[in-house]
Structure formats: C-alpha cells, structure tokens
C-alpha cells in the first residue's frame, strides 16, 4: 500500500479539555516519509517536530503531550487516532496554542474534517511495523501486550473496579470504515470523583458534560451514551493515538487490561526497541558498538564499552574498552601523568552489567540506575594504550533489581573490582 496525505488543508478551532484555552489549528498535506508533524505557530512557526514517542513528555497527566521546541502540544491522542484510524501517513499540524481542541471529546470531528479534505496517494510505500513475537508491559492489575496478527486488532478490558462504572470489553479489527463508524464517536470520560480531583489539580478546565462523559451510577451526568460500552471504545481510541507514535502502521493484536497513556507509551518504546534489536540476542555471543547502543542509552562521551564478548543475557559477559590518549578525561585528570579515573572504570563495568540485564527481552527499552557500589578495590592504574577487559557476572536478579560482580583487567593484571547493584526502570 502507498503512503497518503491530505488533498488540501483544513482549519478548525476549539477549547482545550485541560487548559480551557481557545486554539486554532490548521492541518496541511505533507511530503512522503514526513510522518505527522506539529508546529507551535505562536512560539516558533518554522519548527516542525515529529509526533514520535521520543518527543513525548512523560509527566503529562491523563493525556499525551508532545514537546515542541520550548513549549508543548497537549492532548494529541484523539487527533493522532484519527490519522491512524483513517490511514493518514503524512500531515503537518499547525497550532497556535498549548493543546489540541477537545471538540466533543472524541475523534469524530477530526475524522469528519479529514474525510472532507480527502486523501492523496503518494509515491512511497507505507511503513509497517509487523509484530513477530509478543511484546508486553505488565504492571500487575494493568497490562498491555501485542502479539503477532495479519491485521491490526485491539481487545480491551475496562475495569475501574468502581460501582459507578461497570466493567466493559471490546475486541475489534481496525479498518478506516470501522474506525469511522465504531470508534471515532466514542468520547473521553472519567468518574465524578476523578473530575473533582482533576479540577482541584488544575486540569480539566475546558471539560464539561458535553465533551466529557462524567460517570455516576453507571450513567453519564447531563448526557447520553452513544454506545453501551462507549468508555471501553474510547480507551481503544487512545490506544490508536498513542501507538501511532511509533511512526508506522502496525500489524499485530493489542490486548490491554486497564491500560492508560503511560502503559500505551511504554509498549511503544518496547515495541520499537524490540524491532531495532531484532537480532536474536540469546544466540549472539559478540556485540558491536552499534548493537550495544541499541541496548543501553549511554552515548559519547559517557559510553565506556567498545565491544561485548561471551555474551549470555541475564548471566554474564566480557566487555572491552580501548583506552586512548584521545579520551576526554585525560585533559584534566593528571594531565602530566595520565591515568583513567577509577570511578570511570567502575562505571564501565556497570555498563557491561547493564547490557547483561537489559539484553533480556523483558527488559528491552528500559534503563539501569545505580543503587549502590560495594567491595570496591582499585589495584593498578589504567593508562592510554591499555585494553581494559571487564569480566562481569550477575549475582542476583529480580524483575526490577540486579546485582553484578565485576573485575577489570589489563592483560592478566587485575586493576579494579566491585559489586554493583542497580534498579531496572522504565525509560
């Protein structure tokens, strides 16, 4: 299938659900392979930022917010769902404020405007992310997993475990005509007590019973349902919007239970990371620098591992660093008598430990943070020209913690040893 964009630009305006501010939006056609781009016309009109999980602000509450230059564009998920659901690969969104208008709280008005503008087929092939093996995020009573499938399907179980909103379930294959009819009209919602809490925290300033279903006793206050399971359908709309931040259309089946924006985005990160590291790490004994950088987030000048050998995910590995006079720390660390700082040797061993832990499929896309360093001993100096060999093995591991023992050598000479404990956390 070919990529497509809009045939013409469209304009609309409205009030943001959270900020309560009036904003104007213009959506334009965009060149092939552009993706969905956002510009803050009131801040830096020339800056175009791609709607990607890499640019999302992770601390946004009950919304998906995109960092655009010095500002934000909040609540992009319903518009992104319309692009995803209707099959729009490329578009440029110009907005003169901080939040996409809420409209009626659904994707319906966005879908209507996009359909009225019409779509134009482009020359490039559409980009797909095809799920080859399960990728999951499990937070106990909240979970989301994507498994292989020939089309894009979503199954959602809504369970607020609250007498004011009954449990709901839906499974659906997502196609443009199905999205337009069965999903786009589903409106955002919350419980009455949640609405009061959000207002007290400064959110929901533009929300009202007409654009937000406020549930009490299983019914929306001052409004009527469009579907018996409208809340569940809207959760699927949110998933469509958030998952499109991977930059591709998906072939896979999403199965979610009580997930929200944070879990959706965590799945996107893991899904993209898994695709980027599609090599079978369980059978990979040697890792190049490119492969190492797909596992741990460190970059120059703080990446101290050049190569990994004897790699056994979750168990052990040997890391190498070639120490040269060009390493930046020699400029100020005993410049007349250059030796590698001892703390950086410990850091290098910890990075090898991070590769061991984060190389496991369930930890892909996460980060390892220091918790403690014990039994540290520096035996001999490391100088320019030395090849630093780091033998690291896992002593203990749990789902969110790991403890490694490392020894660093130059040739057969032990130069440093330490036990490092760290936490494995979501990126």
The residues carrying an active-site annotation are 261, 333
**How far apart (Å, rounded) are the C-alpha atoms in residues 239 and 143?**
13
Q: What are the angstrom distances between the C-alpha of 380 and each of 94, 184, 392, 410? A: 59, 66, 18, 9
**How far apart (Å, rounded) are the C-alpha atoms in residues 320 and 348?**
9
**How far apart (Å, rounded) are the C-alpha atoms in residues 390 and 309?**
10
337, 325 in Cβ contact below 8 A?
no
Residue from 359, 295, 362 nearest 138 by CA: 362
Work out the angle at residue 378's Cα, subtended by the Cα atoms of residues 372 and 379, and round it to the nearest 5 degrees: 150
Phi-psi region of 121 (alpha: psi -120 to 50; beta: other; left: phi over 0): beta
Return all residues near 240 (Cβ < 8 A) that are at least 6 apart: 80, 81, 84, 85, 154, 174, 179, 183
Return all residues near 114 (Cβ < 8 A) that are at least 6 apart: 6, 10, 27, 82, 83, 86, 88
383, 323 in Cβ contact below 8 A?
yes
Residue from 354, 402, 344 nearest 376 by CA: 344
324-349 burial, b if ≥16 CB within 10 A, otherwise e? eeebeebeeeeeeebbbebebbbbbb
**How far apart (Å, rounded) are the C-alpha atoms in residues 184 and 236?**
10
Rg (CA), the chain: 25
**How far apart (Å, rounded) are the C-alpha atoms in residues 54 and 296?**
15
């Amino acid at each position: 299938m070919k990529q497509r964009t809009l045939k013409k630009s469209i304009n609309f305006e409205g009030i943001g659900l959270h900020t309560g501010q009036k904003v104007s939006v213009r959506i334009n056609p965009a060149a092939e392979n552009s993706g969905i781009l956002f510009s803050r016309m009131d801040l830096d009109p020339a800056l175009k930022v791609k709607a990607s999980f890499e640019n999302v602000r992770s601390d946004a509450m009950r919304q998906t917010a995109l960092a655009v230059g010095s500002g934000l564009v909040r609540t992009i998920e319903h518009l992104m769902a319309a692009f995803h659901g209707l099959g729009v690969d490329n578009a440029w969104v110009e907005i003169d404020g901080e939040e996409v208008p809420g409209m009626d709280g659904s994707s319906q008005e966005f879908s209507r405007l996009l359909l009225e503008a019409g779509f134009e087929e482009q020359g490039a092939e559409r980009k797909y992310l095809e799920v080859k093996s399960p990728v999951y995020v499990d937070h106990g009573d909240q979970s989301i997993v994507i498994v292989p499938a020939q089309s894009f399907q979503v199954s959602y179980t809504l369970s607020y475990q609250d007498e004011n909103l009954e449990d709901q379930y839906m499974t659906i294959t997502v196609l443009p005509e199905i999205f337009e009819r069965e999903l786009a009209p589903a409106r955002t919602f919350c419980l009455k007590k949640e609405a009061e809490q959000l207002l007290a925290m400064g959110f929901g300033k533009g929300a009202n019973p007409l654009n937000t279903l406020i549930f009490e006793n299983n019914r929306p206050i001052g409004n009527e349902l469009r579907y018996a399971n409208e809340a569940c359908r809207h959760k699927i709309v949110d998933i469509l919007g958030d998952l499109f931040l991977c930059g591709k259309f998906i072939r896979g089946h999403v199965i979610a239970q009580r997930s929200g924006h944070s879990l959706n985005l965590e799945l996107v990160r893991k899904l993209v990371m898994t695709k980027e590291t599609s090599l079978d790490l369980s059978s990979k004994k040697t890792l190049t620098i490119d492969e190492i950088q797909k596992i741990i987030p460190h970059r120059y000048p703080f990446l101290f591992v050049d190569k990994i050998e004897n790699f056994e995910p979750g168990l052990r590995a040997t890391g190498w660093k070639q120490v040269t006079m060009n390493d930046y720390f020699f400029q100020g660390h005993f410049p007349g008598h250059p030796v590698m700082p001892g703390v950086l040797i410990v850091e290098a061993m910890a990075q090898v430990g991070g590769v061991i832990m984060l190389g496991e499929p369930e930890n892909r896309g996460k980060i390892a943070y220091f918790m403690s360093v014990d039994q540290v001993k520096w035996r001999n100096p490391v100088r320019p020209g030395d090849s630093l060999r780091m033998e690291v093995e896992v002593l203990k591991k749990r789902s969110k913690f790991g403890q490694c023992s490392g020894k660093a050598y130059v040739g057969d000479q032990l130069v440093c040893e330490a036990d490092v404990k760290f936490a494995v956390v979501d990126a």
